[in-house]
Amino acid sequence: MAELKTFEQLDEAYPNKVQLIAINVDGENMDTKAVVAKHQLTQSVIKDQMKITAERYQLVGTPTSFIIDDKGYIQAKFEGKIPQQELDKLFKNRRLGILNETVLLTSR
């Protein structure tokens, strides 16, 4: 869950530059709406009840995060918590307004 707040901070730091999508791949066992309300999340959180995302992206654990460019190509994949320094490095060279990517976060 900590990752969701970290990504919301990224969304605030890069308005109109980053699109954040959180996907719950353990949808059967989690009340997604309750989690969104409890943590006061503003980003999109969707369920993957049929495990399509987990299969397509070959997830072996959660959280797993992907940076996907505007053409749909995966530019980075992180398994587990992403260290803040990695996020800073990833976005540091993109402060000139050229960032146009989707961050896809999967969690249980």
pLDDT digit string, tens, across residues 37-57: 888 888 778 888 788 888 888
pLDDT band at 98 (very low <50, low <70, confident <90, very high): very low
Q: In the predicted model, what is the mean pLDDT of residues 74-93?
A: 76
What distance lies between CA 34 and its chain's CA centroid? 18
Tens digits of per-residue pLDDT, 1-35?
A: 667 777 787 777 777 777 777 888 875 666 778 87
Q: Which two tokens stand for residue 17?
A: 């530059």
Q: Hey, which residues does 79 pair with through a beta bridge?
A: 64
Residue 68 amino acid letter: I
Q: Which two tokens stand for residue 89?
A: 């490095």
Q: Which two tokens stand for residue 38?
A: 């409890």
Domains and CATH numbers, the chain: 2-107 (3.40.30.10)
Write the CA distances from 72 to 1, 12, 37, 40, 52, integer angstroms. Answer: 25, 22, 30, 29, 17
Q: Is the pLDDT of residue 86 over 50?
A: yes
pLDDT value at residue 80 = 82
